[in-house]
Amino acid sequence: MKPVSSEASGRWPAWGWALLPAAGALLTASTAPLGAWFLQLPALAVLACAVGRLAPRRAALAGWLFGLGWLVSSLWWLYISMHDFGGLAPPLAGAAVLLLAAFLSLYLAAAMAAVARWRTGRHAVDALLYTGAWLLAELARASWFTGFPWAAPGYAHTDGLLAPLAPWLGVYGLTAVAALWGGLWGQGRALWRTSGGRALAVLAVALPLAAALAPSDFTRPTGQISVSLLQPNVPQDIKFDPNRLAGNMLALREQVLAAPGQLVLTPESVLAVPQSDLDPVYWQSLIQPFTRGDRAVLMGTFLGDNDRGYVNSMIGVSAATLQAGQAYSYGKRHLLPFGEFIPPGFRWFVDLMHIPLADQARGQSEAPFEVGGQRVRPLICYEDLFGEDFADSLAGPQSPTVLANASNLAWFGRWMMQDQHLQFSRMRAMEFQRPLVRSTNTGATAAIDHRGVVTARLPAWTPGRLDVIVEGREGVTPYAAWLARWHLLPLWLTGLLCALPALLTRQRQSNRLPQP
């Protein structure tokens, strides 16, 4: 039996190259705001079909073009932050978005080159290889160079047939199952001609079905707490304007004093100056409602100084913290490249945009904030993309019962980004079966229950307050248990195991060749 050549085993039409970035954009359409999760499967099938016919170099190009269409259509709103608020010229801002998408697409390009290099011609084996390649590419994108896993394909499945797998496999496991479905579809009718192909197809369908029929409640209630989520709606272009600062601070105080919840949650950096620079009289008036009783506030500000660096933080104030003589504080730990820390060699680029506090220090504490019988775990901005960063705190004896995200998305305009981030928060709630509340400056202020359902949401781009009753939960999902113990290692091993049958098959095929 001859091994399948690494050269093209079929033809890919010229018009197919234009189809690849369009299929990548279809992958974006499967996630929020459109949320048509089922569109992901034909998109992944198109790429699988192309890579199954191409030599490694052309397969790499196919993966790169697909990734470019996917990531440009998912990340285009970065243009707004760099042009509208950073002051970059339109060509430079557009080029920056394109270069970021082009760089991130290299992960998928390398993965698809590996698929073309090691494919065997056996449909089930090659579908597994495609699955493993996608999984490893997404794990690398999420982990290397601090990670930027925005719009991972698994997020499409906050709804739909694969959603029951979330507390078992997490977002990257869902990405792998979706890639398996797409890879099987890309094999076409030929898949059904082999027993291995049929068996793998049945297994792919059985996975979410088994999860839907299996026990699904891994956490239990811990009581209720009333929460007030603030949305000040301060436009980004005036947030740090010294002439507008006093008015914004007075408006914030009115919102805080009027909020009735046991817990009041503000967006990140709602105090646009470091807490140490605030007028002490103003600060005392801001926290006065929380100096007695069992109420508390989590307030977004900056802690630190010029010598130690400033930390994007949430300060928790309650009668209990005041009696202890020290306010609770949580500092952001997973910083955003270019916006919160400057990668080596890129200070010139950040200086062009004049971003305030663009080089920040990392926070250290992971302890939850206790209020109303609940343990609240703050997450600042895109920290809720990295469930692996805080999974260990969810598996401990004093695990958080409520997750609270504080964000400022005013940097990124009116379209798409807010809905994307809300979907990411929904996935975290599903993975860990914890309620998650969100307070944002301009939009996606919402309450999400432990099943990932948005129970209440404020309209975007309007000032307001969302008062909700949140049921805390404790317990450990299967995903939280293995993620806390082994981090992402089981997924890396799964990706390699998916590729192993192809490598062994290629080795056997090579051994059967007649020796010269």
Q: Measured in Å, how far apart are the chain's first and last C-alpha atoms?
A: 16
What pairs with residue 456 in β-bridges? 447
Query: Mapping DSSP to helix (H, G, I), strand (E, B) and coil, where does residue 289 land?
Result: helix
Q: Which residues are catalytic?
A: 268, 332, 381
- Look at the alpha carbons of 31, 34, 38, 43 in this order and tell me if their dihedral is positive or negative: negative
Count of Cβ atoms closer than 10 Å to residue 258 Cβ: 12
What pairs with residue 224 in β-bridges? 471
- Bridge pairing between strands 309-318 and 328-331: antiparallel
**Nearest to 138, CA basis, from 121, 155, 126, 123:** 155
Question: Starting from the edge strand earliest in sequence, which strands make up the sheet with 309-318, in order?
Answer: 328-331, 309-318, 296-305, 263-265, 219-231, 464-475
Amino acid at 201: A
- Quick one: DSSP state of residue 440? E
DSSP per residue over 456-499, as a string? EEPPTTS-EEEEEEEEEEEE--HHHHHHHHHTTHHHHHHHHHHH
